[in-house]
Amino acid sequence: MTSGSLSTAGHESGGGRAFRPGPQSTFAAAAIAVVAVATVLVVTLTSGGARRASPPAKVSAYGHLPGWLPKITNTVKVEVAKPASPILSEEQGYTVHAELPGGGTEITAAGPQIPAYVSNDVQRDAWPDSKPVLGTFIVTLADVRGTVPLSPAAFSILTDAGTIVHPEVAVRGGGALPATLHSGQRINLDVTVNVTEGSGSIRWAPLGKRVQVGWIYQLELD
């Protein structure tokens, strides 16, 4: 490409001497070519050597997580329910810190669990949509401090239709239900009630009729 450009330029300019390589220009061109080749070799070898000899990149944190994983935090914010400021719309499965006049506890309600045969009947279209099903909520009271009253009457279910249902409450795994819990105690309860498909709320009113903690649940049979 270079010789073609020079040939064209020579004819257009009348074949001037500037476009005819003489001995000095030939030597100068050769010297420039040698220097250029040497420079390319030095750059190539240097860059290649640098890549081979460079240490691995430092990682600021050990074990980076894949980007598609959800963000993980070290702390979980726990809602605080007081008699004067109840928590009524917590999601089932989440823990609430309940403060009472004589103590406090971490309380969690999860569910409802339904019998396996109900799921089988639903798959066979043998279970009517409006038919109630026996559901079990698992309620856990842990990290008790002071004295916490415990009564079956404190638990209720508020259905999507606005009906209040009182469940049966028993110690999970058997045993007598204590009237109070004391510091350091922990208990798991089975709260059982007939529920229908849809949403509702399982509620706890440890001091009487006023509900202090409520968890929203969703029951889907299909």
The CATH code that applies to domain 79-219 is: 2.60.40.1240
Nearest to 190 by CA among 175, 200, 180: 175
pLDDT (tens digit per residue) in 74-111? 456 789 999 999 999 999 999 999 999 999 999 999 99
- Residue 201 and residue 214 in contact, taking contact as beta carbons nearer than 8 Å: yes
Tell me: the pLDDT tens digits for 104-130?
999 999 999 999 898 888 888 888 878
Q: Evaluate whether 204 touches 158 at the Cβ level (below 8 Å).
A: no
